[in-house]
Chain A
């Protein structure tokens, strides 16, 4: 993926196993959001391919990719603040419903029935993420944590096979983060959906992820289980830098990293979470 002369992602190859929570981490500007935009078709990759099962998604327009089973919840909430929670989630049903201007405008019986069936499913999804009691309130009146869950509910409403979550707990307090973690695990357990997760909150990632890929400057620098990633020297170097800085708290780790002698130990395993 390139923007002019800038290569935002290069030679990133990762594979999310079905039914797992796969986290993508990396410092700011590493290319995580770009990766999501390439997967969901907002950007088209200049080289390489995106595949879902046996289907190639590369080059398809976003609504086609959604139709093939990729749901995405945005980092910066992209829902309509004046619409009710229910309406916002209903948007996710767009591709699963058929009624157009004429059939909806004339309230044809099948269009009315379709609307009713899908509203019932939206209520189920809202209850699944714990939003059942605020369904009819305008989105803008909800708390930050609730709005983030509306994003997730809307992505789930597309009935995806793969769910892309872009920083679902960014800016959340501990309680909200815990609830979101529970939802992510429930999505995997009870719905069997593969979750691809971009997040900065390390303790959240360590508690939900089955596998972690680490990006830095648009390159994949590590890929493995949470335990492997925590002890990976390249990861620690990426997060804390390889040159000496002014931050005395991290200076010792930096020095160690540049000399390439990182070993497993409590001081180092907790280091990434200082980000």
Chain B
């Protein structure tokens, strides 16, 4: 979930703040997730599908995986900087399909169609798996998911603060100007092409880190894990949360990732929902319908998303203050 928040923040910088539609986010998640497996994983010679791993320390693997995602973003950024809006959306769509094909071809790295297991994360001898060392906090045993949850939390908070500071500062101003009026931005001194490329680069690095966390959470990745649905899911998150808002991206990510679990929890008590495989509508399917419907409702009735609701509340109070102030 925190992985999703990081990915959503990254996509929102590109789509919400800079106004560049990208459907290629899944590709950068794939680059991050698969590079991490390749860099930090062990080689597997057994079986019909051998793959190689460099066995680097996981932290180094994570940092390098983000770097490689950035590099992939950099390679695509000349296109990303010159195409606008919808055209970039189409171009980046192609990137996802080409990406899956390329990853399947380099099965030494990706494990091919069967995928590969994700190496456990560890930090200075502390591993993020079920034991070693055993850890109890307030008598709750900290197993893999608890540990990963806190790793994700720390990384997500870091990414959130960085994105907020950047977007509140000079770079964010420049990106919003590029979105709102390219000519006005350039006449005010913003190098439009360069800023579009930088937004693309930053967004791909966020996606890379998100991909690493996603891989750690599901434990085994294959190129098909990063299909076009993932890109669409991320777009749904930022639209629901509010385009251009860092907090909104996190809220949207929480909503979209939590919905299937919440519905799963109450599946028995909601008529028409059922466990997967028992016929009827499964809760993961229902969650997809639900956030699809939520996206449509948000676009029609509240185009600024969850963040917009918070902002308009603030605006009302500021207007009141301005009316009372002497002019």
Contacts and interface: CB of A to CB of B under 8 A. Distances in A.
A158 B181 CA distance: 17
B162 A134 contact: no
A101 B173 contact: no
A62 interface: yes
B75 interface: no
A66 B188 contact: yes
Interface in B309-327: 315, 318-319, 322, 325-327
The 3 tightest CB contacts between A and B, nearest first, are A104-B169, A78-B184, A95-B189
A118 B27 CA distance: 39
A124 to B, nearest CB: 18
A158 B188 contact: yes
Nearest to B311: A82
Contacts of B181: 78-80
Contacts of B318: 136-137
A178 interface: no
Contacts of B186: 41-42, 61-63
A94 B187 CA distance: 11
Interface string A142-162: 000000000000100010000
B69 to A, nearest CB: 16
B162 A106 contact: yes
B179 to A, nearest CB: 8
Interface of A: 40-42, 61-63, 66-67, 72, 74, 78-81, 83, 87, 90-95, 97, 99-101, 104-107, 111, 115, 133-134, 136-138, 141, 154, 158
A138 B315 contact: yes
A189 B38 CA distance: 67
Q: Which of B185, B186, B326 has the most CB of A within 10 A?
A: B186
B180 A101 contact: no
Contacts of B191: 61, 63
A207 B314 CA distance: 42
Interface of B: 162-163, 165-166, 168-174, 176-177, 179-181, 183-191, 198, 202, 315, 318-319, 322, 325-327
A115 B165 CA distance: 12
Majority SS at the chain B contact face: helix
Nearest to A133: B327
Given A67-B189, A87-B173, A79 B184 contact: yes
B183 A97 contact: no
A40 B189 contact: no
Given A100-B171, A101-B202, A134-B322, A94 B176 contact: no
Given A42-B183, A106-B162, A91 B173 contact: yes
B189 A94 contact: yes
B14 to A, nearest CB: 13
B246 to A, nearest CB: 11
B268 to A, nearest CB: 44
Contacts of B173: 87, 90-91, 94
A236 B190 CA distance: 41
A74 B169 contact: no
Given A94-B170, A101-B202, 12 more contacts: A79-B181, A81-B180, A90-B173, A93-B170, A94-B190, A99-B171, A104-B165, A115-B170, A136-B322, A138-B315, A141-B315, A141-B319
A62 B315 contact: no
